[in-house]
Amino acid sequence: MTVTYPQGDPASALIDYRSRRRQLAIGAAVFMALVVLVVTLKIVQGVFFTPESTVRAFFQALADRDAGAAGGLVTPAPGRELAGEDLRGDAVLKSSGYSPPTGVRVEPAAAGEDDQATVNVSYLLAGQPQRRTFILKRDERATAGPFRAWHIVEGAIEEVYVRAETAETVLVAGTPAIVSRGLVNAFGYPGAYQVTLPEQPLLQADPVTAYPGVDRHIPVALLRPTVKPTAQGEVDRQVRTFLDQCSESPGTEDTNCPRPWAFLSSPDLTQVKILRYPTCEITISQGQVLVRGEFQAGVQRKPPYGYSGTSTYVVSGIVTATDGAVVFQPE
């Protein structure tokens, strides 16, 4: 049996064959490129856009004292009200009074519902181990090209724990913070914050360190102000001036003059002379600086009373630092 093949142009057949090979090669290359792209995107997402990477970046920002980078990774959960002085700014993180956490260890994330994840972190503060739980939420939309980033919604911001006696304002890492009912009213990122008194003429205190949201086995810092030695002379001087004013106008009730002037029945018939001025005792009690001193005075009453005598009396009051000056207020 004889088999015949269709006759054609050999050159055209060769061109068609090469064209089909080229199309297949291009298709294969496109397919491989898509595979590489998908794999690369998954690798990038799995390395740089995970809950763990966000937490690591947050602690690295604290170590770098970069408030902008740290803040860009934190989105506080809606409904949480933060009260007091905000310690998250550059002025605080770059201050020598702030120390970021060290020895940070980030544990694998535990996936949750609704694009949420939980990450536990351990680190050191003042040599003491700490452990904190971070809750993160994945962005609903892509915010970094094709990637959906994670943001910390809980765990990054806590109140500062520190008590302060006899102070209305303290400096936390150089930033003023209000003291309310003996507690510092402020909040910030994890770390150690040095707490001091603002410069003033009346009180001084050794610095203490406060830690936002620490475990309870680290004691709450207590700032204990004491009276400056230089305030003693100014208080004694103002008390002497006050007693002299009482001597010039004895018996006037609204001056808060102590005995022997107070409530004199006949001030125009009485002469009081200070024989010994007090060296006052200055103490701190229940948030106030108290003054108490004993002085000696001679009292002479004109006829028809005809009385004279010498006694020891007490002068008392409080002292405040007002407009940068020590001010004695009698009581």
What are φ and ψ of residue 297, in 5° steps? -140, 145
* Calpha distance 75→123 (Å, rounded): 22
Cβ–Cβ < 8 Å for 208, 197: no
Cβ–Cβ < 8 Å for 73, 151: yes
* Residue 214: predicted pLDDT: 65
Residue-wise pLDDT tens digits, 35-86: 433 333 344 444 446 999 999 999 999 999 999 999 999 998 776 777 789 9
pTM exceeds 0.75 = no
* Residue 30: predicted pLDDT: 54
Rounding to the nearest 10 degrees, give the CA dihedral for residues 226, 224, 316, 233: 10
Mean pLDDT, the chain, as a whole number?
81
Residue-wise pLDDT tens digits, 231-262: 999 999 999 999 998 887 755 555 688 887 76
* Calpha distance 290→251 (Å, rounded): 24
- Residues present in the chain in total: 331
pLDDT under 50: residue ranges of the chain: 5, 31, 33-48
- Enumerate residues 6+ apart whose C-beta is below 8 A from 155: 132, 133, 134, 135
What are φ and ψ of residue 175, in 5° steps? -105, 130
Rounding to the nearest 10 degrees, give the CA dihedral for residues 105, 215, 224, 330: 130
C-alpha 253, offset from chain centre: 46
